[in-house]
Amino acid sequence: MNVQPRARAVASPGDAPAHAIAGIFASELQVPSVGLDENFFDLGGDSLMAETLVLAVQKRFGVKLQTSVLLEAQTPREFGRLIASLVPMHPARELIVPVSGSTGDEPIAMIHGITGSALFANRFSRQLKQKYAIMAVRGMGTEPGETPYSGMAEICSNYFEALTSVTGRHPDIVGGICVGGLLAIEVGRLSHEATGKRPAIVLIDPPSPGSAWLKPMPDDRLTEGRRRNIARKVIYWRLLRDALKTVGLGQTRLGRHLRKKAYKSTLLQAAAGFVPSSYPCDILILASSEWGATTVADYKGWASDKASVKTVVMPGTHNKFRKANMDAIDAEILAFLAERRGAARDVRLNS
């Protein structure tokens, strides 16, 4: 198995915040980039710059610091270790699962589907793993003793904060499989609001915005009757799950099955009928031929002029789509991200 069961520790306690701090160093010193071990004063920093830099770090991490902190932490790596000792670990951090074999520097966050499992990320290719550091996001509620998040705002804000905590930077590339696509769009929106940057969103056979059952169907509207039906399913599966847990059978095969059903019904209730806001972003939609015509039309109708949408339809049913098109999906993701980087580079050269 290529997926770690828990988020592995970063190389050293400050490596995650160090990346964010390096960006603050570069901004305050007005240089293109700063390495993790470059010294603030050797780069030309002075006392006035030190004050604005420390204020920026305080605002970014929500901590209190004195300007003299730069005497003991003069590089982003040293500063990051100091910040790591002051900032508590985000409680949702354990939901972020680094995928074994990922050696790239730029993180891609890939969000789970309706089952909440992170194991789908096991199938990404070596080429993608060499280029990017893949972070799989599993669902809260899939492990014993966990209570699922109950709403889209709660789910997405926790994923966003957890990813930021693990990587030390706001997520710039976010993807999702199935319903994870809707979650990815919202996590990307939070990142855009925090940074003003235009994130890349990769959606693997997502449901249409506003879908009542997260799959195409006639009259796909979330009526009050359908909403009550979903709510009844949530209560039903929770009661069965809790009953088995009470009598000590929560870890039997049936108990695990009921926990999975309870999680799926809760996520369906949270996401059914949800229509994300359109914002400046670049979206790649990889759709199965089973859902493709509906998915493509609905997302093109959803996107405003703030969002660019590229769509690719591949053969196969939704349930077997990822397995049937593994190499093609990874190739499309690599091409999409390379094209995006090239366009950003051209803008910088022409500005």
Structure confidence at residue 5 (pLDDT): 38
**Per-residue pLDDT at 15:** 61
140: which residues sit within 8 A by CB, 6+ positions away?
A: 92, 95, 116, 146, 147, 148, 149, 155, 158
pLDDT tens over the chain, length 351 residues: 344 433 333 334 346 678 778 888 988 899 888 988 999 999 999 988 999 999 989 887 778 899 899 998 999 989 988 888 887 778 898 999 989 888 887 899 999 999 999 998 888 988 999 999 999 999 999 998 899 998 999 999 999 999 988 887 889 999 999 999 999 999 999 999 988 999 999 999 999 999 998 988 888 888 999 999 999 999 999 999 999 999 999 999 999 999 999 999 999 999 999 999 999 999 999 999 999 989 999 999 998 888 999 999 999 999 999 888 999 999 999 999 999 988 877 666 666
Long-range own/partner contacts, residues 322-325 (CB < 8 A, 24 or more apart): 322/120, 322/123, 322/177, 322/204, 322/205, 323/123, 325/286
Coil/strand/helix, residue 32: coil
Give how far the C-alpha of residue 323 lies from the chain's centroid of Cα atoms, to the nearest Å: 21
CA distances in angstroms from 4 to 94, 102, 213, 263, 350, listed in the order given: 11, 12, 31, 21, 43
C-alpha distances (whole Å) from 146 to each of 126, 140, 190, 242 are 32, 6, 25, 12
State the DSSP code for 75: S
- Supply φ then ψ for residue 77, to 5 degrees: -65, -45
The SS3 of residue 168 is coil
Of 33, 39, 30, 28, the closest CA to residue 79 belongs to: 39
